[in-house]
Amino acid sequence: MTSPHLLRGVDLAAFAVALVDRLRGAGVAVSAVGSAGLVEAMHVLAPARRSQLYWAARLTLVSRVDDLAAFDAVFHAVFDDAVLGLDPVSVKRPLDPALSPAGRPTADAPSAGDGDGLPWTTRLASVSAATHPPTGSAVPELLPSRLVAQADTPFEQFDSDELRRIGAWLESAQTRWPRRRTLRRQRHPAGRHVDLRATIKASRTTGWEPLRVARTRRQVRPRRVVLVCDVSGSMQPYATVYLHLMRATALRSSGLRPEVFAFATTLTRLTAALSHRCAETALARANDKVIDRYGGTHLGRSIGTLLALPHGNALRGAVVVIASDGWDADGPDTLRRAMSRLRRRAHLVIWLNPRAAAPGFAPLTGSMAAALPFCDHFLPAHTLAGLRELFDVLG
């Protein structure tokens, strides 16, 4: 499969796969049929200029406006620095001087670009994609095909069927788990400490000469995660997704079972209800158990209840995730005292506030301003793509 024009002598299938892999590494959500579509487009169009190849790749591989900046950066790196290593040196051609990197028309060039009749519509990004490298969770690539184009859509715009698909995706999306080192040791060839007893025991078979040195290292075990979700009226558009997230986390845990709580005016433990294998049954049991959902909010009082027995011991050394917009009927001092105690007891405190994604957001409410100094991470997590950062923090 070769092309007689710009990419003559190049295996188009290998080129498409390598380009798609690099785009996904930069955070571009390329569909599963993107590589095949690019190969077919190059066969049909047979691009002879860089701008034609740019538009063929962009129209077949990019489905979201937010991915245009990352796509331009990757395209620029590939065809300016030849990082893929697929183009023979003999077929490299100088770039069109009328084009800036990634084929962007300069001030002296026509806006359509080489007479192709396609206007430049790339939205300028304030932060380059290369400034923030991918963290490895690759959330958009794992999304179902029906949800790829909605990775940046706020959760409040999804219907019940889409929320059900999101819940099914969450059950397989989070693969990493927070871990901690224990005081126990285990045998490991790359350990830094020598196990004298095992080394001397092994020397009995070699004439008491310690030819094989046994080494150990600290054991690593899963760290407990405690998830607390606000189900008051102000959090109604996001409560379902966060409950799906909590249920998926409970099912994906290996080791210590996470503790799941919901609160509005009172605190309710949902660990047993959300552990059911059927998502509809689990959410139905959770809804039946939380009798005060979509009502008022007593945030500080609920966190204080969480710190008391019998749930307080589960917080020691745990990762605590609180999903709430920070609106509270109690005074800020109540939440400040509770968060101060929580921060001293927990290993990590993560606050999810979907309102934080709004332009010009500032924690002006008294309760949110009181809780923020005690949080290690403050994340919006209001979209599917926004869950990537949460997964990275948990991992």
Q: Which tens digits make up the pLDDT trace of 353-374?
A: 888 888 888 877 788 889 999 9
Stretch 167-183: mean pLDDT, rounded? 71
Task: Please name each of the domains of the chain with its CATH number.
Answer: 12-134 (no CATH), 169-176+223-394 (3.40.50.410), 182-221 (no CATH)
Within 180-262, where are the H helices?
Answer: 196-202, 236-252
pLDDT at site 344: 93
State the pTM of this model: 0.57
pLDDT range class, residue 104, cuts 50, 70, 90: very low
Gap between the Cα atoms of 388 and 140, Å rounded: 9
Average pLDDT in the chain: 76
Evaluate whether 97 touches 103 at the Cβ level (below 8 Å).
no
Stretch 331-352: mean pLDDT, rounded? 92
Per-residue pLDDT for 134 more than 70? Answer: no
pLDDT higher at 381 or 84: 381
Which letter, b or e, does each residue of 230-260 get, where b requires 16 or more Cβ atoms within 10 Å of its Cβ? bbbebbeebbbbbbbbbbbbbbbbeeeebbb
pLDDT at site 146: 65
pLDDT higher at 193 or 171: 193
> Which residue is associated with the tokens 């569909």?
31
Gap between the Cα atoms of 162 and 17, Å rounded: 30
pLDDT range class, residue 302, cuts 50, 70, 90: very high
pLDDT at site 9: 67
Per-residue pLDDT for 2 more than 70? Answer: no
Query: Of the ranges 4-18, 200-214, 278-292, which is most confident?
Result: 200-214
Gap between the Cα atoms of 380 and 389, Å rounded: 9
Closest CA relative to residue 338, chosen from 366, 379, 299: 299
pLDDT range class, residue 306, cuts 50, 70, 90: very high
Per-residue pLDDT for 322 more than 90? Answer: yes
